[in-house]
Structure 1
């Protein structure tokens, strides 16, 4: 796994933990920050994967 994959995974885990902490302590701000981190990490990972696939240079077939 690359460094960006680890960062995205850590962001998702941090978001999940913040959401659970905010829900347990009845702190809505921390809970919403956790939700944003969770979905932001997933979205960032997907954008990077799509960008890598689109910019990948394929082999050109010669007739």
Structure 2
């Protein structure tokens, strides 16, 4: 079974995640179409960047 490749998380990614997890903030809102919760958008962007890095790393390993 192949191990999941580890990716590095930048300091800015950590800060973004930490800011989104601060206690005292209201829960994420998923139903507002015109005004999505900025923390949810930030989380989606960060997860997208992480997935892109993982995919890129996997492609490099396949080729090399």
The two structures have a TM-score, normalised by structure 2, of 0.49
Which one has a larger percent helix, Structure 1 or Structure 2? 1
Indicate the structure whose relative CO is greater, using CA pairs within 8 Å and at least 6 residues apart: 2
Q: Which has the larger radius of gyration?
A: 1
